Amino acid sequence: MRDFDFLKPATLAEAIAMRSSLGEEACLFAGGTALLLGMRQRLVNPKTVIALGGLADLRAIAFDSQHGLRVGALARHTDLARSPELRTHTPMLAHMAARMANPQVRNQGTLGGNLCYADPATDPPTALMALRASVVLAGPDGERTLAIEDFLVDYYATALGASEILKEIRVPPPAPGSRGIYVRHLRTAAEHRPVANLALVVERKGAVCTRARLVVGAATAVPCIAAKAGEYLTGKTVTLEVAAEAGRRLAQEITPISDLRGDGAFRRAIVGVIAKRAVAEAFGLDWKGAQA
């Protein structure tokens, strides 16, 4: 690792001013789980590291019924997993955060760092997209809010401006009677990162699906909304056959990536299966019993 200067701003305004004046020569440091690996491998060689750890306001997690959930960018994955606000109002997000990565990374890594790094093999972007989340970016000219699908641009690429800092993640209040399910598939039990994942939010009237949003991630460069599978489910009485058909349609709808961890055909097959199971689970159907 090369030598670098280390700055510790005390306020968000100070951090933005540092980032604006130092430009590309500086890197923001939240938990450091991604950044330090890059620096050790000399893939990233900042002259200055701006550590955000002193910005206590950016760790807060709060919920109110009008605006929904607000998560500070510096909240760690562990904070999300343990948060009473998340467990009560968006349990899918708490469930996801408790299972991703490993205890060391969950205790150190932040939600903001995860989103800004934009690694495709991650969990939070998929769950947040299904929940219609948005991000608040703070810069020298003020703040702007972007839907998460507009923030995540491509492989390791986001819409974050050179002088901006991700401040907060917002999730609208859940619709009454809605249910969220998050499923991740690992290639082997020893691996932490998902090879494919799926998040589903459905609104229900009994067994009838009145609205569905399905999002596939890790199998694609950036998470994608499976709109056709959602349209297929909407208005249907959900049975195991309907769940299986939704899975088949979703699998055909995505453009999967191929890499060393799995080719496109494998990923397509996996997302079809996990989508079927997630839809069945959302409607209380026993897909395990049906397979036995």
Ligand X SMILES: Cc1cc2nc3c(=O)[nH]c(=O)nc-3n(C[C@H](O)[C@H](O)[C@H](O)COP(=O)(O)OP(=O)(O)OC[C@H]3O[C@@H](n4cnc5c(N)ncnc54)[C@H](O)[C@@H]3O)c2cc1C
Binding site for ligand X (CB under 6 A): 27-35, 52, 73, 100-102, 105, 108-110, 112-114, 116-117, 122-124, 160, 165-166, 192-193
Q: Minimum distance between the CB of residue 96 and ligand X, rounded to whole angstroms?
A: 9
Token output for 207: 């067994």
Choose between 157 and 175: whose C-beta lies nearer to ligand X. Answer: 157
Choose between 83 and 178: whose C-beta lies nearer to ligand X. Answer: 83
**Other beta carbons within 10 Å of 32:** 17
Q: Minimum distance between the CB of residue 216 and ligand X, rounded to whole angstroms?
A: 15
Choose between 52 and 251: whose C-beta lies nearer to ligand X. Answer: 52
Choose between 20 and 210: whose C-beta lies nearer to ligand X. Answer: 20
Q: Minimum distance between the CB of residue 287 and ligand X, rounded to whole angstroms?
A: 24
The secondary element (H helix, E strand) that includes residue 158 is strand 157-158
- As a whole number of Å, the end-to-end CA separation of the chain is 54
Please, are residues 135 and 113 in contact by the beta-carbon 8 Å criterion?
no
User: Residues near 107 by Cβ (< 8 Å), separated by ≥ 6?
Assistant: 76, 77, 78
The closest residue (CB) to ligand X is 113
Q: Minimum distance between the CB of residue 119 and ligand X, rounded to whole angstroms?
A: 6
Q: Minimum distance between the CB of residue 271 and ligand X, rounded to whole angstroms?
A: 17
CA distances 33 to 38, 40, 126, 159, 234, Å, are: 9, 11, 20, 21, 40
Choose between 112 and 247: whose C-beta lies nearer to ligand X. Answer: 112
